[in-house]
Structure 1
Amino acid sequence: MANLFLGLGALFLLIGIALKWGLLDWFGRLPGDIRYEGEHFAFFAPITSMLLISILLSLILWLFNR
């Protein structure tokens, strides 16, 4: 259990560094991501970005379980 928490902490640290340095600016701006901003309403659905992350996580988990 401790190793899991250490791994998650390291993952969150890497994600934080990537966000700080602007390496994840593409997230939410891919073709297929829906963004609508009206006068009193904003809607954002990162469909393509979530599909990409889902595929990447599925591949990583598949490799670990092999």
Structure 2
Amino acid sequence: MRRLEDISPELRTSEELKLELELESISEFTGNPASRRERQLRGGIYHSFRLVSTSISRVALYLK
């Protein structure tokens, strides 16, 4: 059985996307582990934050 995450976005229908969002909200409500996509998003946000904070630090040191 193929998982929704493995289907390319071009092939997905709006119904499949709605179902995926519904399933993710159910898993959050029941306390199940986050989906792979959620973990990727959180990791990406954390990585972006680290890059920005490092860049700000370097600029601050350069301007001193």
More strand by share: 1
More helix by share: 2
**TM-score, structure 2 length as denominator?**
0.36
**TM-score, structure 1 length as denominator?**
0.35
Higher Rg:
2
